[in-house]
A and B are shown apart, each in its own frame.
Chain A
């Protein structure tokens, strides 16, 4: 519950709006909305989530069960911010495998295994750091 309890002071608050034409009021409405939405859409542009990454793998031809397992494991390893689909694709390219084979290799492999280690090499290239 919010603690704010306020009487209906509409008559006082509306003073600056009262003289506006309908067109000006509508423009004001949408301008405010755009200002509210701008930081939200900026966050979406620059962030991702497990559901988004699962939805990417789904589009790449993995089943819902495979998507869930792959994304859970990448999340545990702190890799989601690099893009689950990208990691699978770049792994496939680096190993000369199909993307399905790359995904299946990750599903089968231990975190200490060859394929998961290869993901570290891929992301190291993004920042120039050594794995």
Chain B
């Protein structure tokens, strides 16, 4: 499957022959850091290879559109509930620099005792099934070819079906997964014995498949009352999962600690968060780090959230990480919208490129409060571990409520999470292995009568599914009502008809967001804002963010609502399709010919910015190709333009109509055509109009040879002029 940057991802092709698809590689891919890499006018210290296709940061326009890539893997979390829509979001994210796609699971999958099959729709995430995973990996293969960088696909090996999901991921080429039995115990109330016993099997499978493991300690941040006080316990949780993983066979290079700076402003964030970050990296030297951005203290203001995440990213660079995860700035409001995945990735890469090489300029102080506080957190963590052992071990400590207590350990508030070792989902399901117990498969942990010195445990029957992919049983769909084919009927039909709807999450969701300031007290302003949204024809308007500017002077609102409109592409104005000629070709043809162009902003119009951008050499305008440009200024009468063109023996007239009243821009174009015709010059003069309201089709209707709208470059205009003049009879 090959993608064309100008075409939408073909979901039908993704779904075709999925039973035959095999992952083309296994294991995790890191970016390779290139020291002192020259990109455009700069040399970067912390960068990696460029992409084949990408969308640079907006300000890159000022630096030859460079798109330097940082050396950290960048994560985005994707979770619309429909994987077929998520694939498009993944493609957009990859173009903006994400290479770790973390797919959130549907609510409640942790408690499903077995694998789910088919493609049912999820809530807050997708049901992780073989078909969904396979289709996603297949699409990501094509996307990584398009951008030119490996993309890591990631989901969760947790819940009561962990080992089966681990097998599925190993078979299907999933590259990373969360696996931490403590998460099951504390947050999912899954029986501790079941969680721990299952986890060893899952980890062993992940180890052999090269799947990078992320732990679950960051969840303690997200749930703690005062997140900066949970730091000693975070070290403990990281350590328990890490030591358990090593014992189950995971090598250090496949163990990534999932760590979040605990606080957000107005808390003194760096002073609180850096000591923990330093303590963690000291204690876990040799392991990988996955730095998450803060979700604990995020509200609905996306700018505030973005600033917190920039500071989180700064902490990552100051203390080192391997993966920088991004959180969408709207996560405090709703299930993330796709363009906010892009926003999160962009603010992160913007930060990382902006602080490139900071290690050469700054270092963390080795004396003073930072190191003292890091030491204190470590000592508190050691005391925490001692109490676990004094309580009688891990199970007893959880039962005694030692975990996720809101006190700053050894302070205890008695509000920790308490779990009964004999209770929870899956209680009483763990059984001792009997004499002779065996499992004739690869990647099995623990006592196994088939694990003998020579050969594989699966040799007796020609190899397990990890050795012989042909053994995998592929189930397509089980539910005739809830599946991707059903869900795609309307979107594919609308796409075929050329209909477009706004969306933020899923195809055709029709959600739009408007920003309104209303100059009144908060309550009345909010009611008025909603009423205004209804007047805009938005259905079900809902305030998703409110910010008081002043209690009496007014408030700012962001309102989402449904705009139930499908636009038919066939009736949209078409852009001027000017094929760019090579710059050298234009100049070689133009410069020796002494071509004069007369230009002006016409009508009652004092705005000449657009025209300058097209003409001036300073702005990359057509002068640079050797056209002699005569700018007559603003508010120029059409007759004067034509007179001057005659005097100069010009070859073309350019008019700009930026600000228009009613159809006055049309009249100017028609008048120019008429006046030139009246003097018998229409064959000699190329006529071009530009302006924000001008389209090529409109300009041609009004007698021009071409029209150029907003965003036109001098290069486009020069290409058009050169071709028109070159192709004139007699040339």
Contact = CB atoms under 8 A, between A and B. Distances in A.
Interface of A: 1-10, 13-14, 17-18, 22, 25-26, 28-30, 32-37, 39-41, 43-56, 58-68, 75, 80-83, 85-86, 89, 92-93, 98-99, 123, 125-127
A43 B197 contact: yes
A52 B201 contact: yes
Given A32-B389, A52-B201, 20 more contacts: A4-B401, A8-B408, A33-B240, A36-B243, A44-B197, A44-B201, A48-B197, A51-B162, A51-B163, A60-B441, A67-B164, A68-B114, A75-B429, A81-B434, A81-B437, A86-B436, A86-B440, A89-B460, A123-B434, A127-B436
Q: Which of B162, B196, B418, B449 has the most CB of A within 10 A?
A: B196
A30 B242 CA distance: 10
Given A58-B164, A67-B164, A85-B439, A47 B432 contact: yes
B637 to A, nearest CB: 79
B430 A61 contact: no
A47 B400 contact: no
A1 B401 contact: yes
Contacts of A1: 401, 414-416, 418
Nearest to B472: A61
Interface string B675-711: 0000000000000000000000000000000000000
A123 B113 CA distance: 26
A41 B414 contact: no
A35 B166 CA distance: 27
Interface stretch (B144-152, B334-342, B380-388): B380-388
13 contacts: A14-B379, A14-B383, A25-B375, A25-B382, A33-B242, A37-B243, A41-B248, A51-B164, A59-B441, A59-B466, A83-B439, A83-B449, A99-B461
Contacts of A17: 379, 382-383
B445 interface: yes
Contacts of B393: 36, 39-40
B401 A44 contact: no
A102 to B, nearest CB: 10
Contacts of A63: 473, 475
Contacts of B168: 58
B154 interface: no
A64 B378 contact: no
Contacts of A65: 117, 475
A17 B386 CA distance: 12
Nearest to A31: B385
Q: Which of B114, B380, B447 has the most CB of A within 10 A?
A: B114
Interface band, chain B: 35 or more
B382 A32 contact: yes
Contacts of B117: 64-65
Contact of B418 (A2, A14, A67): A2
A81 B431 contact: yes
Q: Which of A25, A39, A51, A81 has the most CB of B within 10 A?
A: A51
A49 B194 contact: yes
Contacts of A35: 389
B445 A60 contact: no
A48 B433 contact: yes
Contact of B465 (A28, A39, A59): A59
Interface string B12-29: 000000000000000000
B44 interface: no
Given A1-B415, A17-B379, A125 B436 contact: yes
B244 interface: yes
Contact of A10 (B198, B380, B388, B435): B380
A89 B439 CA distance: 9
B411 A44 contact: no
A61 B407 CA distance: 50
Interface of B: 113-115, 117, 130, 160-164, 166-168, 193-194, 196-201, 205, 235-236, 239-240, 242-244, 247-248, 282-283, 375-376, 378-383, 385-386, 388-389, 393-394, 400-402, 405, 407-408, 410-416, 418, 426, 429-447, 449-450, 458, 460-461, 464-466, 471-473, 475
Contacts of B236: 33
Contacts of A127: 435-436
Contact of B410 (A10, A44, A66): A10
Contacts of A49: 163, 194, 197-198, 426, 429-431
B73 to A, nearest CB: 27
Contacts of A47: 193, 197, 430-433, 446
B478 to A, nearest CB: 8
B465 A51 contact: no
Contact of A37 (B205, B240, B283): B240
Given A28-B382, A52-B163, A63-B475, A8 B247 contact: no
A59 B443 CA distance: 10
A81 B434 CA distance: 5
A4 B400 CA distance: 8
A48 B408 contact: no
A46 B431 CA distance: 9
Given A29-B378, A60-B440, A41 B247 contact: yes
Given A13-B383, A65-B475, A83 B438 contact: yes
A44 B196 CA distance: 7
B471 A60 contact: yes
Contacts of A3: 414
Contacts of A55: 163-164, 166-167, 201, 205
A25 B410 CA distance: 17
